[in-house]
Amino acid sequence: MDNEITIVEVGPRDGLQNEGTILSTDTKVELITRLVDAGARRIEAVSFAHPRLVPTMADAEAVMERVPRRDGVSYAGLVLNRRGLDRAVGTDVDEVNVVVCVSDTFSTRNQNVTADEAMTMAADVVDAARNRGLFTTITLSTAFGCPFEGEVAPARVAEFARRCADAGAQELCLGDTVGVGAPSQVTDLTARIRDTVGDAMRLRFHFHNTRNTGFANAYAAVTAGVDVLDASAGGIGGCPFAPKATGNIATDDLVYMLERMGCTTGFDLASLIPTAGFLSEKLGHEVPALLPRAGLFP
């Protein structure tokens, strides 16, 4: 396989937001700098959710003020509404990622709106963001299953994907928020989305390894022709609004797998591996990634 895969590094946002330890702004900027030095070119650096709801992201503006600005590096901020977008615009982010929870129960608990209401809000944010020259992604969270409602119908996910395309989003990310998905679901959803929206949006996936299927799902996505995947350095992360939502697939382990498959990612694993130790030290616990423990091969 000879594919170029873009890895969106989400450790500084989705990775840190579920941690009990709140890192200093200095440490967050050092983490992002390490990731850029190791080859990360798309980084979801911050969230503009209300600081009361996500206190680990309260210093979003301060972080964005100090991130290293280098050619070819794009920084994204997660936003939930127009207030979040207004904050993001003031920080010179390059991209915004707007989240819509596909299941009503999760959406109500997470954003205090129904899924339909969240979609309407997202369309408004996308329109405003594109008018300001920002690249726009809509993430459909709980696309593989909801911790409160159980299974989510694939037809519902496809319908929301159509609405994302109608809203003008440039990229669609399907999120396995609580790590319940299996490779067959990835294959099925990829086909459904393509049948529904064609090439209207670039397709991206966000996998969690909660039940040890995250890397199998990533493999299924790549073999289905998907070329954008989210991952988190060290495998840290989760969702503070979802019970037992453990870490994202680890950037370290994903890069190793993809490059052994013959894909290119732009990362330098030798430079990336020490970041896991840095995170373990700063967070006070060993991070889940396995490659930093085993080392490179050969």
List pLDDT tens digits, range 215-259: 999 999 999 999 999 999 999 997 766 766 678 999 999 999 999
Q: Is 168 helix (H, G, I), strand (E, B) or coil?
A: coil
Distance CA 60, CA 77 (A): 9
Under DSSP, is residue 230 helix (H, G, I), strand (E, B) or coil? strand
Q: Is the peptide bond before 292 cis (omega within 30 degrees of 0)?
A: no
Tell me if 78 sits within 8 A of 50, measured CB to CB.
no
Task: Report H helices in 68-137.
Answer: 82-89, 104-111, 115-131
Q: pLDDT band for 92, please (50, 70, 90 cuts).
A: very high
- Token pair belonging to 260: 């052994």
User: For the domain 6-10+18-294, what is the CATH superfamily, name and number?
Assistant: Aldolase class I (3.20.20.70)
Q: Where are the domains of the chain?
A: 6-10+18-294
Regarding pTM above 0.75, the answer is yes
pLDDT of 91 higher than 80: yes
Angle of helix 154-167 relative to helix 115-131, nearest 10 degrees?
A: 30
Pick the catalytic residue from 101, 146, 239, 263.
Answer: 239
101 a catalytic residue: no
Q: Residue 190: in which H helix or E strand, if any?
A: helix 183-197
pLDDT-derived band at 53 (thresholds 50, 70, 90) equals confident
pLDDT confidence of residue 246: 76
pLDDT value at position 2? 77
- Report which of 144, 74, 46, 44 is spatially closest to residue 102, judged by C-alpha positions: 144
In the predicted model, is pLDDT for residue 110 greater than 70?
Answer: yes
Distance CA 80, CA 14 (A): 14
